[in-house]
Amino acid sequence: MKTKALPLVALAASLAFPGQAPAKEGDVRFKLLATYVAPDGKITDVKTDLIGLPAGTQSKADDNVTPTVAIEYFVADNVSLETIAGVTQHDVNGRGALDGATLVSDAKIVPATLTIKYHFGQDGGVRPYVGAGPSYFIFIDEKPGATTQTLGATRQKMGDKFGAAIQAGIDIPVNDKGLALALDAKRYFLRPTATWYAGTTEVLKTRHKLDPWVISAGVSFRF
């Protein structure tokens, strides 16, 4: 009876998660994701101010939705390394005394990130995970906003910055070909510096709490 019971248990498991092959050491996952990026962006320090920001000036970066890709490599059955690629674009707008004003226009960000992830759950089933790792934010082609141009700024630069990220998510297998649904949430922690220039003269320099939430959903393919 015991020998007959084992195949029945295996059959029941296969019915519960039909056709789901487990991720294992050496596997690679490629993910296509839609990503919602919600940064903070408030000013934490004013280092230089030659243009006379009104008292009580504060700032907030706007949100954006962008496509991203992720590549994940399993170094063990439950442990993987993941990197993401994508570009997101944001304005930084005034709050408080400059409510509604545009301080930074069209700042494009490349959030280079590498996380190490630990996966829970049974092989072949739904796999929640947590992860953490370093990030390096690269800012591209940012410009002074209309308000800072009015105040005399002709050029603007966001300083590239190292930071850190934590993440949690879940992979939900769909078939035995390695297709899965992917849901992921990351929180980044970084404090970049923004500098405005009039010609070659530094006229305003501020430090910001960026700390974006990055929420992704999409599909993944295992190779």
The answer to whether the CB of 153 falls within 8 A of the CB of 204 is: yes
Alpha-carbon gap, residue 7 to 5, rounded angstroms:
6
The pLDDT value recorded for residue 23 is 65
The secondary structure of 35-73 as a DSSP string is EEEE---EEEEEEEESS-PPTTEEEEEPPEEEEEEEEEE
The pLDDT value recorded for residue 74 is 94
Better pLDDT: 198 or 16? 198
The secondary structure of 137-164 as a DSSP string is EEEES-EE-HHHHHTT--EEEEPPEEEE
* Number of folded domains that form the chain: 1
Q: Which residue range forms the structural domain that includes residue 80?
A: 25-222
Instruction: Please check whether residue 6 lies inside any domain of the structure.
Output: no
Q: Which of 31, 60, 55, 18 is nearest to 43 (CA)?
A: 60
Instruction: Please check whether residue 144 lies inside any domain of the structure.
Output: yes
Instruction: Please check whether residue 20 lies inside any domain of the structure.
Output: no
Statement: the pTM of the whole predicted model exceeds 0.75: yes
- Taking only the tens place, the pLDDT of each residue in 33-47 is 999 999 998 999 999
Instruction: Please check whether residue 40 lies inside any domain of the structure.
Output: yes
Q: Which band of pLDDT confidence, cut at 50, 70 and 90, is reported for residue 11?
A: very low
Instruction: Please check whether residue 13 lies inside any domain of the structure.
Output: no
Supply the CATH number for residue 68's domain. Answer: 2.40.160.20
